[in-house]
Copies of this chain bind each other. A is one copy, B any other.
Amino acid sequence: MTPTTPTSTAPSPVQLMDQLAQAAAGYYRAFAAVAAERGLTLMQGKMLSLLRRPMPMRTLAELLACDASNVTGIVDRLEARGLARREVDPGDRRIKNVVLTEEGEETVRAIRAELMSGLTGLEQLDEEERLTFQELLVRVFPLA
């Protein structure tokens, strides 16, 4: 039986894990909704967000934690929509750098702006709270 925990009582580590699950789900729900408004899937949106600087497909696969063959398809679709393009790396012609088009850049800006405006709670944190939040996030999810 879960005891009725008044909000002023510290959650157990397990309860906090559940809270994290909620938060992670909330984040992706918001992100997916913003992407969907532009006819993009979650993965396409994620990839666009990563592409603030050009990157080899290989790097994208690592950052998205998915198979390289997967990236091929996603970039295909972004390219078909005119949001990104492949450029053969002059230094190593095996490598294809994915670059955002002008429209792609604009889309990323719009997605980020709308996502930010959706997370109204973020704006309301003061400096100290933001710092604390960041430190806690980093401690629980170190590195990448």
Contacts and interface: CB of A to CB of B under 8 A. Distances in A.
Contacts of A20: 23, 27, 119, 122, 137
Contact of A13 (B13, B27, B49, B122): B122
Interface residues of A, number: 49
Interface stretch (A67-75, A83-91, A92-100, A128-136): A128-136
B138 A19 contact: yes
Interface string A106-119: 00000010011001
Given A27-B21, A28-B24, A116-B13, A121 B144 contact: no
B21 A24 contact: no
| Copies held by the complex | 2
A134 B22 CA distance: 11
Interface of A is mostly: helix
28 contacts: A9-B131, A10-B131, A11-B130, A16-B122, A16-B125, A16-B134, A17-B116, A17-B119, A20-B27, A20-B137, A21-B27, A21-B31, A21-B49, A22-B137, A22-B141, A22-B144, A23-B24, A24-B24, A24-B27, A26-B144, A28-B28, A29-B65, A121-B140, A121-B142, A122-B140, A124-B139, A125-B136, A132-B132
Given A10-B130, A121-B142, A133-B133, 6 more contacts: A10-B134, A11-B131, A17-B119, A20-B122, A21-B27, A122-B140
